[in-house]
Amino acid sequence: MIRLVTAPGPRLRAAAASVLLSGAVSASALDTATIVASVASPDCLEYRVVGICYWLYCTWMSCSVRTSVKVRHYVPDAVVSSYANTGENPWTEVRAMSTPNAKAKAGGDGTTNHDNENNLAKFKNADVIGHPGGYVFSQFASRTGYVCEGAGTAFMPYLLSTLDLPAWRYNVPEMVYPEALTPGLREIGSRTTSNLWGNVYPRGGFLHQTDDYKSGAVVAQRSGDVVTRRYQPHVYQPLLADARDGYWPAGALNEGDASTGKWQELTPTLSNACAVFPHGNTRVQAKQGDYAWALWRPYACCERAGQIFLGSVDFL
């Protein structure tokens, strides 16, 4: 698991989590301590025993088959920030990772300040950075049972949109992808239910959406879509782990599918629950157009009980 060098004591962590997660609270800025405390969320963890693993255990005298419990739960892999003003990531301690540069300076909305103009493009930067709460999460989750390792490394930048210039600011080459040109394909929400938040493709910072919260969520989904896949035409590092004996890591993130990942809002409100986009929860508009979510993804694993992995059986 990801581990921090120092960590608060159990009583302090419990007290902080109790205060921070008693409900959704206002947050004008996001700091590392708040993010770390937010991992104490049973709803996001969703810990389950799902099967049995079989191992061949041998000594110099004989061999026998041993078993271990197979568990599945979610892990907070990354903090995904979606924000209007370049260089102003709401997670204050990591702002230096994505400062403006010669090719990525401006941000915000295309507008002439007329109230009736609601069809102009919005722009959001996006940063995907490894979740810093690995140690606290492992302590919290281990109270339930055996804990699976996530793919994220604390404070590791997996995607910084200021460095992903052609794709993020010019939609090259994804503007001509079928997913970007075909209505109804790879969309967050549904046209038929009048609850369309936006399109996943092209996976850049521009979109047309009058609701700023929904804009932030769509951009967060786009960046999560990129980093959970390999060989994408973006400047990024894959947020993926390799499968091994007794370990089944999360795969590609898909919109609206909680079995591939879910989101915990960190700012402008701090939530103790996870959801997928779109959702019907109360949505608070950020004053500065900056949002952040923790991306939780599902992992399954079982404790090694022998030298050779024979397989596993899942419960129905």
pLDDT tens column, 95-139: 999 999 988 877 767 655 555 555 578 999 999 999 999 999 999
**How far is the CA of 251 from the CAs of 73, 151, 260, in angstroms?**
14, 10, 7
Neighbours of 28 (CB within 10 A): 11
Q: How far apart are CA 259 and CA 265, in angstroms?
A: 18
For the ranges 23-32, 35-44, 138-147, 203-212, the lowest mean pLDDT is seen at 23-32
Structure tokens at 39: 């991992």
Q: Mean of the per-residue pLDDT values for the chain?
A: 89
Helices of type H across the chain? 10-20, 32-37, 42-45, 134-142, 165-170, 178-181, 212-227
How many residues are recorded in the chain? 316
